Chains A and B, each alone.
Chain A
């Protein structure tokens, strides 16, 4: 058990920017492309991920002393599946219209690389409170990515935000298609690298790992 050396604020910053799931780690890209054609869906999935990630990290951290290293992956899986089931049921009851559109992607949170990664890298080695902060930060980083990506895709692809019409005219249909999703993610990734190198003296995405 390595001692927690980072302050909570540093963990938060790390999750949001330094090791941002989408823009820096480039994992969990499938939902980032599939769900972000509209802001409503993107934000809903992001919030679900924040919940699951925080709770999973908390639970894994609490029981980390009891998990045998050889069976840790199945244990993580069970814990994640439990929380995904909770958020799945909650959303299907209280957020029915959104659930109808992105229900599949809520269930597939079970297989998100980002959640496994944080459980393995952080929660199984750290105390409960920092683990929760890390889970929340990582989930919030994902939520931030979802908001930014879906903002551009919905605005350019449909001329709308949250379903409300913003610009009239002929929108760029390609932006709501997967091809447009990849273009937006790629350009944003480049933008975040540029900001990192230019203003924070970083090395870009290659320096994140």
Chain B
């Protein structure tokens, strides 16, 4: 295709020729924007510490990326927002109580080892933010599992520690969990609004949903992964979550923990999920199944992180096995 430009020169280029205004940077900044409601809720419930932890994590991620790329003599790509997004997601994945070195070490590890050593944005095998959380959880297990009770106060930092809803559910059972909130509807309300203990950005299901709907409206993510992910979790919770079969409470498992954050913002990461729609549904189902395996029968109270990371490994395999046939292709004859 030949295009005439202002200088009246003939420019010959390869396809694609028709482009819209989308770019990596625009998408990344939109996702950052979509996480804003969750961040605001985190600040509302956990106070200045939310800003402190998330800010440190973003700062460390951006600086690491910048100096790594300068160090190997490549142009710095921090303006595309992917480092900011990684830092923001990692920060929102941490408890409010963490000491200063945890977000810094996490961001540094993620950007150097998980992202840059694999080739940078677009080449990483695993979701960077989740890998950072996994690294931190394994490295400093104690500091990473101290949960502050949400205070909704901006002063008075003598936060009391408590267990996450899923932790209570695992250790002490459903009656105790309902008792903690008062009654059942209070519990659902608390989980929806984010008035529970947990990582900074994961508690408020509603705020995450708002952000996710924004991304869906702009067609940056599709429904395939989140719906199949959440659906599988609900199904597992309903079938296996209660006494005996088929009388579990799916809502508790769907609303609690990092599921909304994981399903809408982590599992849908372009780089680490399958690109074919059918594959995305398989990916979501796999994520949901592993999450519930860990939540119900595993050693950890929460399994979204490991589920998404494990399915990340399978993304290329899934893509290969559901590759759509080319239009007009002739089927191979069976011998």
**Residues of A in contact with B (beta carbons under 8 Å apart):** 170, 172-174, 177, 179, 183, 190
Query: Contacts of B113 on A, CB cut-off 8 Å?
Result: 183
A/B interface sample: 16 pairs, CB < 8 A: A170-B101, A170-B140, A170-B143, A172-B105, A172-B139, A173-B138, A173-B139, A173-B140, A173-B141, A174-B135, A174-B138, A174-B139, A177-B138, A179-B138, A183-B113, A190-B117
| Contacts A172-B139, A173-B138 supplied; 14 other A-B pairs, CB < 8 Å | A170-B101, A170-B140, A170-B143, A172-B105, A173-B139, A173-B140, A173-B141, A174-B135, A174-B138, A174-B139, A177-B138, A179-B138, A183-B113, A190-B117
The distance from the CB of A40 to the nearest CB of chain B, in whole angstroms, is 23
**Which residues, 97 to 121 on B, are CB-close (under 8 Å) to A?**
101, 105, 113, 117
Q: Give a binary string over B184-217; 1 marks a CB under 8 Å from any A CB, 0 the rest.
A: 0000000000000000000000000000000000
**What separation, in Å, do the CA atoms of A183 and B139 have in the docked complex?**
13
Residues of A within 8 A of B143 (CB): 170
Q: How far is the CA of A179 from the CA of B135 in the complex (A)?
A: 9
How many residues of chain B get a CB closer than 8 Å to chain A's CBs? 10
In Å, the complex CA distance between A195 and B143 comes to 38
Q: How many angstroms from the CA of A173 to the CA of B105 in the assembled complex?
A: 13
Task: Name the residue on A nearest B139 (C-beta).
Answer: A174
Chain B hits for A179, CB < 8 A: 138
> Interface residues of A: mostly helix, strand, loop or mixed?
helix
Residue of A nearest to B140 (CB): A170
Complex interface bits, B59-101 against A, C-beta within 8 A gives 1, otherwise 0: 0000000000000000000000000000000000000000001
Within 8 A of A (CB), among B141-156: 141, 143
User: Within the assembled complex, what's the spacing in Å between the Cα atoms of A177 and B143?
Assistant: 18
Chain A residues closer than 8 Å to B105, beta-carbon distance: 172
By beta carbon, the residue of chain A nearest B137 is A174
Of B101, B139, B140, chain A has the most CB atoms within 10 Å of the CB of B139
- List, in ascending order, chain B residues with CB within 8 A of A174's CB: 135, 138-139
Please measure, in the bound complex, the distance between the C-alpha atom of A205 and the C-alpha atom of B198, giving whole angstroms.
Answer: 45
Instruction: Tell me the complex Cα distance, A170–B102, Å.
Output: 11
Cα–Cα, bound, A177→B137 (Å): 13
Bound Cα distance from A170 to B101, whole angstroms:
10
Q: Which residues of A contact B139 (CB under 8 A)?
A: 172-174
Q: How far is the CA of A179 from the CA of B117 in the complex (A)?
A: 16
- Nearest A residue to B113 by beta-carbon distance? A183
A172 partner residues in chain B, CB cutoff 8 A? 105, 139
Docked Cα-Cα span, A57 to B225, in Å, equals 57
A174 CB to closest chain B CB (Å) equals 4
CB contact list, B261-285 vs A, under 8 A: none
Residues of A within 8 A of B140 (CB): 170, 173
In the complex, A183→B112 CA distance in Å? 12
Q: How far is the CB of B137 from chain A (nearest CB, A)?
A: 9
Using Cβ atoms and an 8 Å threshold, which residues of chain A touch B138? 173-174, 177, 179
List of A residues within 8 angstroms of B101 by Cβ: 170
| Chain B neighbourhood of A173, CB < 8 A | 138-141
> In chain B between 139 and 182, which residues have their CB closer than 8 angstroms to a CB of chain A?
139-141, 143
Of B101, B105, B140, most A-chain CB atoms within 10 Å: B140
Q: How far is the CB of A37 from chain B (nearest CB, A)?
A: 14
Measured CB to CB, the nearest residue on chain B to A179 is B138
Min CB distance B301 to A, Å, is: 19
Q: Scoring B residues 122 to 140 as 1 if CB is less than 8 Å from chain A, else 0, what string do you get?
A: 0000000000000100111
- The residues of B that contact A170 with a CB separation of less than 8 Å are 101, 140, 143
Report the bound CA distance from A56 to B135 in whole Å.
42
**Which residues from B are CB-within-8-Å of A190?**
117
Q: How far is the CB of B170 from chain A (nearest CB, A)?
A: 22
* Interchain nearest-CB distance for B31 vs A (Å): 28
Which residue of the partner chain B has the closest CB to A157? B139
Find residues 18-36 in chain B having any chain A CB closer than 8 Å to their own CB.
Answer: none
- A142 CA / B141 CA spacing, docked (Å): 33
| In the bound complex, CA of A177 to CA of B141 (Å) | 13
Q: How far is the CA of A183 from the CA of B143 in the complex (A)?
A: 22
**Residues on B with beta carbons closer than 8 Å to the beta carbon of A183:** 113
CA distance A173 to B144 in the complex (A): 13
Closest-CB distance, B262 to chain A (whole angstroms): 21
B117 cross-chain contacts in A, Cβ below 8 A? 190
Q: Which 4 residue pairs are nearest across A and B when measured between Cβ atoms?
A: A174-B139, A174-B138, A173-B139, A172-B139
Question: Could you tell me the distance between the alpha carbons of A114 and B238 in the complex, rounded to whole angstroms?
Answer: 53
In the complex, what residues of A have CB within 8 A of residue B135's CB? 174
Closest Cβ of chain B to A49, distance in Å, is 29
Report how far A174 CA is from B135 CA in the complex, Å. Answer: 7
State how many angstroms separate the Cβ of A119 from the closest Cβ of chain B: 36
